[in-house]
Structure 1
Amino acid sequence: MGDNPSRPLFRLQRRSLLQAGAGAAAAASLAGCAALDEGPEGTAAGSDELADLLPTYTPYEGGIAPDLPGQPDGSVTPGYLARPAEPVQAVTEPPMTTGEDITAITPLWNPTPPGLPDNSYFATVNEILGGTVVFNIADGNNYLDKITTTLASGDVPDMFQIPGWEIVNISDFGEAANELFADLSPYLAGDKAAADYPLLASYPTAAWAMGVFGGKLLGIPWERAPYTNALFARQDVLDELGLEHPTTLDELLAVAEAVNDPSNNRWAFASLDQTVQEAMGVPTLWKVEDGKLVHKFETEAFAAAIEFTRQVFDKGLVHPDYVADRNTNAKEIIGSGQAVFYEDGLGAWHEMFATYRSVPGFDLQIVDPLAREAGAAPTIWRDDPAGMFCFIKKDLSEERVKECLRVANWCSAPYGTVEYDLVSDGVEGVHFTVDAEGVPQRTELGQTEVAPTYMFLSGRANANNKFQYPGMVERLHEWETNAAAFLDPSPFQGLRVEMPSDLSAENEPMKEAHHEIYRGQREVAEWASIVEDWRARVGDSAREYYTKVAEDNDRL
């Protein structure tokens, strides 16, 4: 796999696109090497090349000031300790002016709400927009099918939300996107965004760079914090046992052994993987050693992480459901008190409180990044600064593209604005009320009619605002400030590099391999030969590709 770097690029055909989506999924399920039928060579652009394509970062000055300041690079999210008494209005003119409907495809992981004309939420927002957005809402769990069939047909809507985690499963997405979606640089590059779409201009430059596909700015990014994962602990259990948070891997193992009590249906871990790798110093993807690129799989740190995690499994410190299936629902294990530690994305923290706050004593807290040993520093994996993208249909008239951008600008209004409330929860007093803690609570009508839809017509500036959970805003701000110092100094930081799909397709088989080692299905010593096989399939050719990118951008 990956031994033909000059294979022809994808051409937009229904059969090819469907094969690409299915092929990536199939390849990811194989432990062997089944080459994808189609696959891009990958593309990359340096920061100098992108500068002429992207909006100039311009902080939005019209909103409410955060109580805890963020960082312009997105590494620390601004924190808000209360809801403003009077949300401000960010956009004063209706963004839709042509009299034409805007068609949109968006995902939804909740029950589908009623459509027009039977949905007062849609009716109200459309009235404020000055026109009608006609949503085609697709099941988020099967959204890749919707994306591939729509792209293959060539009949795309005016606005189309496509998550990055689905894009990696579509071979040569960049070329398909260039054929179907509008180049936004003529409308947004430089100071144009700040003048006409000031809310879009407030996104970090790094987030906008992720919207570049095939050398053109095509996607409006949904900004996200650069942290892929964190370790969380049932604080109530630790407090009951008089235990402190660990700061090193040895301390983690000691605390785990202290809390592990299978006879009382309690294990130390509901999940464990990335925490150990970061503590060991494993890079996000590549690092430079002796002037050459080394992939994370090839590092001594990764091998050490596998050996440590195998030790944790061998000691019986992991919940049997996770031992049996790494995709088990670790949240339920933690929520029920059957485990003390687990890994998850930062957003899961407030979601867990929302789900389990009625459980007596439930207290989940985030653990600061662990070091390999005292005095050492972890490497915090740097997530992409944007994770979802809204595309606008190509060949629309200039005024229609501008109209779609005005809608995107309106939908991206930040926390503390009237527009934010409307997009998130609808109309106060109709779809939500504000409780004594200043938290919007959906009415029965709101629960039926309001769904994440308009928010997917753009992105949104990050906000750390879950103040309904005492101490969460402050602690998350503290955690991000601490973790930011350890973010991976990737040799590709600031570059927009699209990973070749054959390398991407190997991620799942390699993950499956080291999880099999954790569980004793393979021996620790096998990892070296697994990596050698990976090098022969894709690793060495991928290194050549990434080395050229690094050299072309003075990173090597």
Structure 2
Amino acid sequence: MGDNPSRPLFRLHRRTLFQAGAGAAAAASLAGCAALDEGPEGTAAGSDELADLLPTYTPYEGGVEADLPGASDGTVSPGYLSRPESPVQAVAEPPMTTGEEITAITPLWNPAPPGLPANSYFTSVNEALGGTVVFNIADGNNYLDKITTTLAGGDVPDMFQIPGWEIIKLSDFTEAANELFADLSPYLAGDKAADYPLLASYPTAAWAMGVFGGTLLGIPWERAPYTNTMFARQDVLDSLGLEHPQNLEELLAIAEEVNDPAANRWAFASLDQTVQEAMGVPTLWKVEDGKLVHKFETEAFAAAIEFTRQVFDKGLVHPDYVADRLTNTKEIIGSGQAVFYEDGLGAWHEMLGTYRDVAGFDLQAVNPMAREAGGTPTIWRDDPAGMFTFIRKDLSEERIKECLRVANWCSAPFGTREWDLVWDGVQDVHFTVDADGVPQRTELGQTEVANTYLFLSGRANANFKFQYPGLVEAQHAWETNAAAFLDDHPFQGLRVEMPSDLAAENEPMTDAHHEIYRGQREVAEWTALVDDWRAKVGDSAREYYTGVAEDNDRL
């Protein structure tokens, strides 16, 4: 299978969106992307096919040994129960050597810290780097606006962090990226990556995600394969003498028992994907009788809609989520107004930190559930990388190498001096280590430290939030259990760029089934909605994906 698929759906025209000039930039919004008549053809290739473009995988041997071993396939992150007394140095020499500044655009989902020269954290990290990184920090909640404006103007920084969840909203990103960002294969392909050993330690599958239009452009940030999980207020369940549900029947029974609106407590702050997975809905496509079937078309998806509607109709869902599916469900859980909710696995430590002062607060992840007793759960398998750092194309060869050296330095794993500096700053200035061996930010650290340098690269997954007693062990156990139920979908291991029309039509379908949950549509309407989806895009997308599957021996 080549990088130009045999069954293209559309021809890409970059200037329909990314035109030079501020006026065009302002118009290049998500709404503008959706309004385009044309979008990109997709591409697909396996890691083996891309081998000539990618670094040779070389595990990093210089880090600290994990207390709880990870899995070589990335399904279980290594667990660390304490901070090493003497962090090791991962990179011997400062990576910046040209004397020139590096400009960078990165997101931040917290208030921006003071900039240079007033920020001693930035100054300290830059001293370790041997030069100055000048950040343009943008609000992560509105980061798409920053991306589209910058790409449309064409004046990109030296290093640019762009999350994958924003890339899929841009209908002509691949062509724009190939025009603006450097091909990294001449510097990283094969054994060339030995000059950047921390980058070489990323899994090959993660690196394959950085290929756009047949060119290695993005430095990936590896991520665990789990898209979401259901969490429970364990303290509430314990007070009621209730165990975790193992299937949907038990989930419904427990939900009815804990639901008590008179006491301002509902069973669910959010509910959707957990039910779909328990019903056996595939990640995206599955093979039945030698043909591809999209998740929308499955009996399991229809059954999930019917079950979830039943939960809503029974009044088991918090009214704020009933009114608005984008409501802040974390606050509902934190305040004790609900017992169960869905979130990414990273929310576990975030919630324990946010609500650490709430008496008795205990949040635990529920193991993947089956549809019925004796059944087998399904867990959707996420892409092996989710964020990407790009380097400006028109830089000199030495400047591109310098940016790669900075990315390599910023990739230092847990237990290294570089990790400490990036995450928490300078010891006894920006953080101290308490009696339990846990770094604690000083007042200055709380003001100045923002993990902007993290977004200049990726890093290996690590389970290290040992400041929350029992969390490392619990997360390790959850991942170990869940790994066995990951969906082995037909496109696993392939780098598939979804055709833009399919991506555009997924959101209306998501809106539709959420409207069914809330009684704004009838359950019976789902069949007609799927038929309409097939006519608009589903059948042509199936044709495209069938070609990808056949060309890669998946059908």
- Under TM normalisation by the shorter chain, which class is it? over 0.9
Structure 1 residue 437: deviation in Å?
2.2
Letter in 1 for 2:256: E
1:371 maps to 370
2:528 maps to 529
Q: Is the aligned partner of 1:329 residue 2:337? A: no
- The answer to whether the Cα contact below 8 Å between 2:10 and 2:39 also exists between their aligned partners in 1 is no
Cα deviations across residues 138-185 of structure 1 (Å, max 9, x unaligned)? 121221111111111111111111111111111121111111111111
Percentage of matched positions with identical amino acids: 83
Structure 1 residue 408: deviation in Å?
0.2
Letter in 2 for 1:534: W
Letter in 1 for 2:127: E
- The answer to whether the Cα contact below 8 Å between 2:55 and 2:200 also exists between their aligned partners in 1 is yes
Q: Is the aligned partner of 1:64 residue 2:64? A: yes
Matches within 5 A, 1:292-371: 292-371=291-370
**Cα distance in 1 between the residues matched to 2:28 and 2:150:** 13
Unaligned runs of 5+ in 1: 28-34
1:13 maps to 19
Matches within 5 A, 1:113-192: 113-192=113-192
- The answer to whether the Cα contact below 8 Å between 1:23 and 1:37 also exists between their aligned partners in 2 is no
- The answer to whether the Cα contact below 8 Å between 2:278 and 2:371 also exists between their aligned partners in 1 is yes
Cα deviations across residues 450-508 of structure 1 (Å, max 9, x unaligned)? 11211111011111011111111111111111111111111111110001111111122
Structure 1 residue 367: deviation in Å?
0.4
Cα deviations across residues 103-127 of structure 1 (Å, max 9, x unaligned)? 1111112122111111111111111
Matches within 5 A, 1:76-95: 76-95=76-95
- Provide the secondary structure at the position in 1 that maps to 2:426: coil
- The answer to whether the Cα contact below 8 Å between 1:222 and 1:389 also exists between their aligned partners in 2 is yes
Matches within 5 A, 1:481-492: 481-492=480-491
**Cα distance in 2 between the residues matched to 1:403 and 1:522:** 56
1:544 maps to 543
1:32 maps to none
Letter in 2 for 1:229: N
**Cα distance in 1 between the residues matched to 2:356 and 2:445:** 22
Cα deviations across residues 325-365 of structure 1 (Å, max 9, x unaligned)? 11111111111111100000001011111011111111111
Cα deviations across residues 501-530 of structure 1 (Å, max 9, x unaligned)? 111111221111001111111111100000
**Cα distance in 2 between the residues matched to 1:21 and 1:297:** 28
**Cα distance in 1 between the residues matched to 2:367 and 2:12:** 47
- Provide the secondary structure at the position in 1 that maps to 2:44: strand
Structure 1 residue 17: deviation in Å?
6.7
1:22 maps to 30
Structure 1 residue 4: deviation in Å?
9.2
CA RMSD of aligned residues (A): 1.5
Matches within 5 A, 1:101-500: 101-193=101-193, 195-500=194-499
**Cα distance in 1 between the residues matched to 2:52 and 2:312:** 51
**Cα distance in 1 between the residues matched to 2:65 and 2:410:** 20
**Cα distance in 1 between the residues matched to 2:12 and 2:71:** 42
**Cα distance in 2 between the residues matched to 1:209 and 1:66:** 26
Letter in 1 for 2:445: G
- Provide the secondary structure at the position in 2 that maps to 1:252: helix
**Cα distance in 2 between the residues matched to 1:9 and 1:291:** 35
User: Aligned pair in 2 of structure 1 residues 19, 210: CA closer, same or farther (>3 Å)?
Assistant: farther
User: Aligned pair in 2 of structure 1 residues 212, 62: CA closer, same or farther (>3 Å)?
Assistant: same
Structure 1 residue 55: deviation in Å?
1.1
Letter in 2 for 1:380: I
Letter in 1 for 2:47: S
The total of aligned residue pairs comes to 545
**Cα distance in 2 between the residues matched to 1:204 and 1:471:** 28
- The answer to whether the Cα contact below 8 Å between 2:8 and 2:544 also exists between their aligned partners in 1 is no
Unaligned runs of 5+ in 2: 1-6
Taking structure 2 as the reference length, the TM-score comes to 0.96
Structure 1 residue 428: deviation in Å?
0.4
- The answer to whether the Cα contact below 8 Å between 1:24 and 1:505 also exists between their aligned partners in 2 is no
Taking structure 1 as the reference length, the TM-score comes to 0.96
- Provide the secondary structure at the position in 2 that maps to 1:199: helix
Letter in 1 for 2:366: V
- The answer to whether the Cα contact below 8 Å between 1:380 and 1:487 also exists between their aligned partners in 2 is yes
**Cα distance in 1 between the residues matched to 2:50 and 2:338:** 46
